[in-house]
Amino acid sequence: MSWLIIISLIFTAGFVGGLLSFVIPHEKQNLINYLLIATGAYLFSVLLRHIIPHAVIHYGENILVWVLAGFFLQHIIQQFSQGVEHGHTHIHEHLPLHKLVYIILGLGIHAFFEAAPLVESYATKKIFSGLLVGLILHKIPECFALACLVSHSVKTATQRFLWIFFFAMITPISIILFVSYQQSNLFSQNIFGIVIGLICGTLLHISTTIIFETTNNKHQIKWYKILCLIIGFAVSLLV
């Protein structure tokens, strides 16, 4: 599969996810949680079964230190992004421009660097395919949540459309840059390994947050959530 097709798929997933905020009524926007929960389970499984073991084999056990660092780094990024990267749409009031910029900046950093593991695993077909599917599925609720957030803070549909387009382009652009850097050997293997470890840690944080967070404080069994988790884990075994 060529990088052009890969970039097109990732952009389309994000862009369509953002556009869904125009057509899904506000009172039914929680329906996106079904996809979100399944995606979290899928990412968690792929990370533990393929991505992190592959990284340890390729870069050594020391990369696990950077995985842990990435896990805690995501906690810091989340203070800026307000959890939009794992589908949170809990902000329903108008935000001042500077707060909106902070959130999009934190989310943009995450979107930029999440392309690194995809580029690194390109030569390993099974791992690459699993990660690509996970990234595409992750982009839909991520951009949907961002679009819902932006809808409360911009005046026109055109501005909202431009924000969605801008954000959907971040990961495709970062793929182009990472591929160029990898081919030009501007990054040493050690530096690239650190980046991979950090991103694995951030994705681990996001996937576990999606899996374990609850929508209320009553610790009730939610059968739809269990079903979505089973579907996510099952799909990861098939890819």
Q: How far is CA 36 from CA 75, 87, 138, 192, in A?
A: 19, 7, 7, 29
User: Is residue 185 situated within a structural domain?
Assistant: yes
Kindly indicate the confidence band of residue 165, based on its pLDDT and cuts at 50, 70 and 90.
very high
Express each pLDDT in 25-47 by its tens digit: 665 666 677 777 888 888 888 88
User: Is residue 84 situated within a structural domain?
Assistant: yes
Tell me whether residue 121 is exposed, middle or buried, using C-beta atoms within 10 angstroms of its C-beta: 0 to 12, 13 to 18, 19 or more.
buried
The vertex-78 CA angle with 134 and 142, nearest 5°, equals: 35
Q: What mean pLDDT, rounded, does the chain reach?
A: 79
User: Is residue 23 situated within a structural domain?
Assistant: no
**Model-level pTM?**
0.77
Q: How far apart (Å, rounded) are the C-alpha atoms in residues 81 and 18? A: 16
Residue 155: which of 104, 95, 76 has the closest Cα? 95
The pLDDT assigned to 146 comes to 81
Domain count of the fold of the chain? 1
- Average pLDDT (195-211) is 85
Residue 24: which of 169, 103, 141 has the closest Cα? 141
User: Is residue 21 situated within a structural domain?
Assistant: no
Residues 107 and 166: beta-carbon distance below 8 Å: no
User: Is residue 147 situated within a structural domain?
Assistant: yes
Tokens in use for 144? 């949907």
Q: Using the predicted structure, report yes or no on whether residue 234 has a pLDDT greater than 80.
A: yes
Express each pLDDT in 74-119 by its tens digit: 888 777 666 665 555 555 455 666 667 777 787 788 788 888 888 8
- Average pLDDT (123-128) is 74
Kindly indicate the confidence band of residue 60, based on its pLDDT and cuts at 50, 70 and 90.
confident
Residues 201 and 74: beta-carbon distance below 8 Å: yes
User: Is residue 13 situated within a structural domain?
Assistant: no
User: Is residue 25 situated within a structural domain?
Assistant: no
Other beta carbons within 10 angstroms of residue 177's beta carbon come to 14
User: Is residue 12 situated within a structural domain?
Assistant: no
Long-range contacts of 223-231 (CB under 8 A, 24+ apart): 224/34, 225/37, 228/34, 228/37, 228/38, 228/41, 229/37, 229/38, 229/40, 229/41, 230/41, 231/38, 231/41
In the chain, beta strands by DSSP E: none
Domain limits at 191? Answer: 33-238
Q: Using the predicted structure, report yes or no on whether residue 215 has a pLDDT greater than 60.
A: no
Q: How far apart (Å, rounded) are the C-alpha atoms in residues 191 and 195? A: 6
